[in-house]
A and B are shown apart, each in its own frame.
Chain A
Amino acid sequence: MEIPYVVTPRKDTGLFNSKIAIWLFLASEVMLFGGFFSAYVFLRLGADYPWPERTLPVLPGLINTFVLIGSSVTVVFAWASLKLRNWRMFQLFMGITVFCALIFMVLKGIEYNVKFHHQAVRLKDYTVMEGHLSYEKELDHNGNKVEENLIFVEASKLTFNTRRFEKSWVEEVLTQAGHHGSKIVLSADIAVVTKEGQPAEVIAKAGEPLSVDLLRRVEKTRLAAASHNSALRTESLREEWVKAHAAHPGKKDWQIASGVNIDTAALAPKLLTEVSTVAFNVDPPARLDFKPRDIKEADGQSRLRDDTVVDGKLLASPMGFHYVDAIDFQHLVMKAKEKGIDPEVAIENSWLIKNSPFAKEAWEWHQGEVAKLKERLLKDYGLDKSGNPKRVPTHKELYRIGWKDFAKKGEQQHGIKLSTMDSLKEEFMGPNYDARNPQGDDTHVEGGHAKETFPHFSLPREQIGFAAKFTPAWNTYYAIYFTITGLHGLHVIGGALVLAYYLFFGRKMYLENPEWLANRVEIGGLFWHFVDLVWIFVFPILYLM
C-alpha cells in the first residue's frame, strides 16, 4: 500500500504528513519541558534551604553544549547533502551527529556516576558535610566492600511480622549470627487453633531455630485463619442485618446501622488463631549490622522496614568519611539568621567546629581567605554612594569550604600540587583524593597535621540529621536536576537511535525514493534540533545559575 503525502504536500496544510506529526509532537514536548522548567523556578523560589548555586562542574556541561550545537549543525548538513543527492556526505555528517550523541551520553554518565558515589550529610545543627565514605574493615559475607555507614545493634531478641518479613533479611540475619557463633531460636511454643472447635496444637516448639521455612509455616496458618475468620465475621454480620431488618420493618439502613453488631462473644469459640508476630531469642546476643535506610534505630528497641523488631543495645555506629571534601555552613547560617543569631557565633558554636580540630583549622583558614577576598573586592571596585563596598563576597563564598578551597589550602600549607592533566581530570571526575593525600590512609591525624588535603572523619550517628548520596533524595535541586537532565538524556538516546537508523538502513530508500528519505531526515533533524534547544536552556539554568 502506498502511503500518501510522504513526499508531496497535502493541499489543506501545505505540508507532508509526517511534518505535521512531528510538530504536533514537538508542541507536546514544549509543554512537557516547559512544565519542568516552571517546576524548577517554583522549587528554587520556594526552597527552604540555600539553593546550590553553580554547584555542577561547568567544563563537562560546556563540552556537552558544544557537542550538541555541533551535532545540530551536522544534522542539518546531512539533510542538505541528501537534498543535493550526495550519499557519501550524508553518511559523513550523520555519522558525526550520532558520534556526538555518544560523547554527550558518555560525559553525562560520568557526571551521574560521580554524584552517585559522593556522600552528603546534614548534621542536626544544619552543618553540611560532603565527601567519600570509607569502607568497613570486614567484607560482607558475599565478599563485597561495605561502606562505613552501618548501624550496629547487639541483638538479644528478634520479633518477625509473619506477613511482612523479608526473606533475604531473615537469611542475612542468620548468616551474621552464624558468623558470631550465635543461635537464633524460637522463644516460646507457637500454639494455634487450626480447626474450628478443636484445641490449640503446637506448630512450632520453643528452641526451634529460625528459618524462612518456619516463618512461612506460621504465615500459612495465619493466612488460613484470617480467611476462615473473616468469612465467619461476614456471615455473622449478614445474619445480624437480616435480624435487624426483621425487627425494624420500614426503617432505612442508616437508621438501624448503629444497632447492628457482630456478637463477638458467640463468635469467639469458632475463630482460629492468627499469629501476627513470632519472637526469637538470639543466644548469646550478637552484633548485627543494618543499612541505615532499613532500620529506625533506637537504644533498646529498633524496627526494620519489614516491621521486624530488634531488641538490644544500640552500639556505636559512626559514619566514616574516608575523605571530607566540603564543609558547608550556609544552611546553618540561614537557620541562625531566622533565629536572630549572629552567623559567626553560630558557626563557632557548631558541633563540628567544637569537635573537629581539622574543621576548626579549615574554618579559620577560610575566614582568612574571605578577608583577603573582601579586601581585594574593595580595592578593585571601591565604595558606592552610601559608603558601602560595591561588591561583597557571596553567601556561598562566605560560608562554604568547597573541595577547591580544600585543594587550595593543601597547596598553600603542604605544597601539594597536581599536574595540569590531573587538575583537568578533576574537573570531570571530582577531586583526586589519592594525589591530594599523598601519604595515603595511614597518616590520618585528627587535627590535620598530616600532609593531607582532605581529612578523615568519623561522624557519630546521633549527630546525623539527614544523609544521602547526591541523588534526588538529597534535596529538591538534585531532584529537578536528575529529572530534567535524565529526561533530556532519554531524548538524546531516542533521537540518536532514529538518526542512526537512517544512517545504517537508509541506503535502500535513498536509491528508491531519495526525496522521501530527505523528508524523513528532516523530521528526525527537527527532533534533534529540539533536543539541542532544550539543552540551550538546561545548561545555563542548572550549571551556571
Chain B
Amino acid sequence: MADTPEAIKKSVRTYMFVGGILFLGTIITVLVASVEALDVGQHGFDKWDCILGLAIATIKASLVAFIFMHLNHEKKAVYWLFASGLCMVCSLAGLTALAIFDPIHDPLFFGKESTTPKILASPSLR
C-alpha cells in the first residue's frame, strides 16, 4: 500500500489513468452497441455482443478492484475473503445451471424442445 507521501502522489497519477481507461471502456461499450459499423457478429444484439460487452465490463471491474480497491497489493486475508465470496456465487449459479440436466424439466424452459440443451440457442440470445 502506498503510505509515503511520494508513493501516494505517484499512485494519484495511476488513479487518473485508470479513471480515463474506465471512461474509454464505457464509451467503447456504448459505441459497439449503438453504431452499426462497429457491431460485432450478426446485425443487432447477439452472443458476440454479449461476450464483448461482458469482457469489457470485466476488464473495467478488475481495474476498479485491483487499482481503486488496492487488491493489487493487499494482505492474504482480504484475498481469501473476496475469493470465497466469488467462489460461492459461481458454485451457486453453477448448481442452478445443472437444472438443464434435470430429466423432468419443462422442455420449453430453455426456449426449445431439443433434448440437448443449447443455452445460446435460446430466442433471447439467438
Contact = CB atoms under 8 A, between A and B. Distances in A.
Interface of A: 13-15, 19-20, 23-24, 26-31, 34-35, 38, 41-42, 44-48, 50-51, 53-54, 58, 62, 65-66, 69-70, 72-73, 76-77, 80, 83-84, 334, 377, 381, 391-397, 525-526, 529-530, 532-533, 536-537, 539-541, 544-545
Contacts of B85: 26-31, 34
B57 A540 contact: yes
Nearest to A397: B44
Given A30-B85, A70-B19, A545 B53 contact: yes
A224 to B, nearest CB: 50
Contact of B123 (A30, A51, A537): A51
8 contacts: A15-B78, A27-B81, A27-B84, A34-B93, A72-B19, A80-B9, A533-B65, A540-B53
A45 B111 contact: yes
Contact of A526 (B29, B69, B86, B97): B69
Given A23-B82, A45-B122, 5 more contacts: A26-B81, A69-B23, A80-B8, A84-B9, A334-B123
B125 A45 contact: yes
A46 B96 contact: no
A15 B93 contact: no
Contacts of B124: 44-45, 47, 50-51, 53
Interface of B: 2-3, 5, 8-9, 11-12, 15-16, 18-19, 22-23, 26, 29-30, 33-34, 42-45, 49-50, 53-54, 56-57, 60-61, 64-65, 68-69, 75-78, 81-82, 84-86, 88-90, 92-93, 96-97, 108-111, 119, 122-126
A76 B77 contact: no
A537 B57 contact: yes
A51 B44 CA distance: 14
A340 to B, nearest CB: 14
A66 B69 contact: no
A541 B54 CA distance: 8
Given A26-B82, A80-B12, A84-B9, A31 B89 contact: yes
A29 B81 CA distance: 12
Given A15-B77, A66-B23, A394-B43, A544 B30 contact: yes
A72 B61 CA distance: 12
B61 A34 contact: no
B108 A48 contact: yes
Contacts of A381: 43
B61 A533 contact: yes
A53 B119 contact: no
Nearest to B106: A46
Contact of A69 (B22, B33, B57, B81): B22
Nearest to B19: A73
A301 to B, nearest CB: 36
A13 B3 contact: no
A13 B61 contact: no
Contacts of A13: 75, 77
Contact of A20 (B42, B77, B97): B77
B88 A31 contact: yes
B81 to A, nearest CB: 5
SS of B interface (majority): helix
A541 B55 CA distance: 12
B42 A30 contact: no
Nearest to B89: A34
Top 4 A-B residue pairs of the complex, sorted by shortest distance between their CB atoms: A34-B89, A27-B85, A394-B44, A38-B93
Contact of B8 (A53, A84, A541): A84
Given A20-B77, A45-B122, A530-B69, A76 B15 contact: yes
A529 B109 contact: no
B110 A46 contact: yes
A532 B64 contact: yes
B109 A46 contact: yes
A72 B26 contact: no
A34 B33 CA distance: 24
A50 B122 CA distance: 11
A23 B43 contact: no
A325 B75 CA distance: 55
Contacts of A73: 15-16, 18-19, 68
Contacts of B57: 536-537, 539-541
Contacts of A58: 30, 33-34
A48 B90 CA distance: 25
A35 B78 contact: no
A82 to B, nearest CB: 10
A34 B34 CA distance: 27
B120 to A, nearest CB: 9
B75 A30 contact: no
B49 to A, nearest CB: 7
A24 B82 CA distance: 8
Contacts of A393: 43-44
Contacts of A50: 123-124
Given A38-B96, A54-B33, A536 B64 contact: yes
A64 to B, nearest CB: 10
Contact of B42 (A26, A47, A391): A391
Contacts of B108: 48
Contacts of A28: 85
A393 B8 CA distance: 52
A28 B86 CA distance: 9
Nearest to B1: A522
Contact of B61 (A44, A80, A392, A537): A537
A533 B58 CA distance: 9
A297 to B, nearest CB: 31
A392 B42 CA distance: 8
A14 B75 contact: yes
Contacts of A20: 77-78, 81
